[in-house]
């Protein structure tokens, strides 16, 4: 750290060394710098800085940890003509993301029996776990073609959700350039029964209470109230996106695109090359799949609330849906000139500020909602984007892991996990002990510290703190 330079609050410049084409930029509080071991993920930050065509900085968010090639919590922008696109910079779970809906129902009015019944209904309606699919819904070729052309409208126009959901989804649930021909038959086969499923690992459906409001003016605009019931959904493109990532990694490695790179996991191709265009086309389609996946899950959660709580679907409006494993073509200021760049966000969230032209009217005066899940025992956060150009208008995506899944399982082996969580007023439902053990609260950093660093760095502002009570884990 002796040669680091603080260039803004909670913003540290990591100087160029060896093959780095740009400096690194770390967003972190003083406390995080003192308490966390940053050596391994910062090695990946330096590695990303060596990629051709990178502009600005190789950036790490305060929730960063070791990932495939890129650190999770990593952001990198590439020049469209000279730069590259990297599957490792998007991640295996393409368009893994989060959506937040707010029920017109005080959480305290739910009885213990109602909470248990609600969680059970959601568990029955939404398949969860490794490889789990749906028996009642299988996608055909015509469905994939429609998803390619329509994005999330594929679901909404079938009555899966509400028409007003569309303006509450990042990029309105659609990326230009999707092409089914770029996707392998293996990917389509893996995704056939997985629309409307949460998968495994850290994916979840979480229901709880809006615990505290920090910015009343923004909360009022977004119709967020203290004590209100919220629904948070975290999942992505399932086996469909995973297979797409693997297919292109294998192809790019086979064709020698990792030659001369400091880490073959960074394997990348020129954005304008045939291979780059094919990856973009497949990635965009996987993003569409993920948008529809979260749309169907929210639809089934709304149905469960209707059945158990007699709450109409229109009484559970969607607030927002954000991506945090994606590459996007966006216009940003590069050396003082507006320029289109390809922004990789891997475990990082877009955080456009007020008056950004891509935002829907509801968010023009407030900035974009930023959703930051924490862990199932402490809290999650709702924030408002500031639009900081230093990070390409990007923010953290969650708390970030503090302990590996293997370490967490060893730590909690032989203990009654569900009882432990219930003593913290959290009901947890999952298919296996293993899933719960991997996802216990202490496996994650303290999300309050993470969002404090984000706010200190002026990437986003805290709007509300959310307290989980009912959790369905993959």
Give the catalytic positions in this structure: 397
> In whole angstroms, what is the distance from residue 65 CA to residue 391 CA?
17
Long-range CB pairs of 14-17 (<8 Å, 24+ gap) are 14/42, 14/45, 14/46, 16/49, 17/46
- Rounded to a whole number of angstroms, the distance between the first and last alpha carbons of the chain is 39
Strands 318-323 and 348-350: unpaired
Strands 72-79 and 337-346: antiparallel
Taking alpha carbons only, the member of 103, 59, 142, 19 closest to residue 351 is 59
Count of Cβ atoms closer than 10 Å to residue 19 Cβ: 13
Task: Write the CA distances from 310 to 114, 210, 257, integer angstroms.
Answer: 11, 21, 56
SS3 85: strand
Tokens 């929210």 belong to residue:
298
> In whole angstroms, what is the distance from residue 372 CA to residue 383 CA?
8
Count of Cβ atoms closer than 10 Å to residue 215 Cβ: 18
What phi, psi does 142 have (nearest 5°)? -65, -35
CB within 8 Å of 124: residues ≥ 6 apart: none
């Amino acid at each position: 750290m002796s040669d680091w330079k603080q260039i803004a609050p909670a913003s540290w410049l990591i100087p160029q060394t060896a093959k780095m084409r740009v400096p690194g930029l770390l967003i972190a509080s003083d406390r995080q710098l003192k308490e966390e071991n940053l050596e391994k993920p910062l090695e990946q930050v330096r590695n990303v800085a060596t990629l051709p065509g990178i502009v600005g900085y190789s950036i790490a968010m305060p929730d960063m940890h070791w990932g495939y090639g890129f650190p999770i919590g990593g952001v990198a922008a590439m020049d469209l003509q000279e730069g590259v696109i990297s599957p490792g910079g998007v991640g295996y779970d393409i368009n893994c993301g989060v959506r937040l809906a707010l029920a017109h129902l005080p959480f305290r009015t739910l009885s213990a029996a109602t909470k248990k019944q609600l969680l059970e209904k959601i568990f029955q309606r939404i398949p969860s776990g490794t490889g789990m699919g749906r028996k009642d819904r299988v996608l055909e070729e015509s469905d994939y073609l429609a998803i390619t052309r329509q994005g999330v409208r594929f679901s909404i126009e079938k009555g899966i959700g509400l028409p007003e959901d569309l303006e509450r989804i990042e990029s309105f649930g659609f990326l230009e350039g999707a092409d089914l021909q770029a996707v392998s038959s293996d990917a389509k086969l893996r995704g056939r029964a997985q629309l409307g499923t949460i998968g495994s690992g850290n994916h979840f459906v979480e229901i709880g209470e809006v615990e505290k409001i920090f910015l009343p003016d923004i909360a009022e605009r977004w119709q967020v109230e203290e004590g209100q019931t919220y629904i948070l959904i975290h999942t992505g493109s399932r086996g469909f996106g995973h297979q797409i990532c693997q297919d292109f990694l294998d192809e790019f490695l086979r064709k020698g695109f990792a030659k001369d790179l400091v880490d073959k996991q960074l394997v990348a191709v020129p954005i304008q090359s045939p291979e780059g265009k094919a990856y973009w086309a497949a990635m965009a389609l996987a993003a569409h799949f993920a948008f529809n996946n979260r749309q169907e899950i929210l639809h089934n959660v709304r149905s469960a609330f209707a059945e158990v709580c007699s709450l109409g679907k229109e009484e559970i409006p969607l607030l927002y849906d954000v991506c945090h494993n994606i590459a996007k073509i966006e216009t940003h200021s590069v050396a003082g000139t507006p320029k289109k760049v390809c922004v990789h966000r891997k475990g990082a969230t877009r955080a456009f500020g007020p008056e950004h032209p891509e935002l829907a009217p509801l968010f023009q005066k407030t900035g974009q909602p930023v959703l930051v899940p924490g862990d199932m025992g402490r809290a999650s956060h709702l924030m408002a984007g500031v639009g900081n150009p230093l990070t390409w208008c990007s923010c953290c995506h969650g708390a970030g892991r503090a302990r590996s899944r293997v370490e967490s399982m060893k730590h909690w082996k032989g203990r009654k996990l569900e009882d432990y969580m219930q003593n913290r007023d959290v009901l947890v439902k999952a298919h296996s002990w293993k899933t719960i053990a991997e996802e216990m609260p202490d496996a994650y950093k303290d999300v309050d510290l993470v969002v404090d660093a984000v706010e200190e760095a002026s990437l986003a502002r805290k709007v509300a703190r959310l307290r989980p009570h009912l959790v369905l884990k993959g």
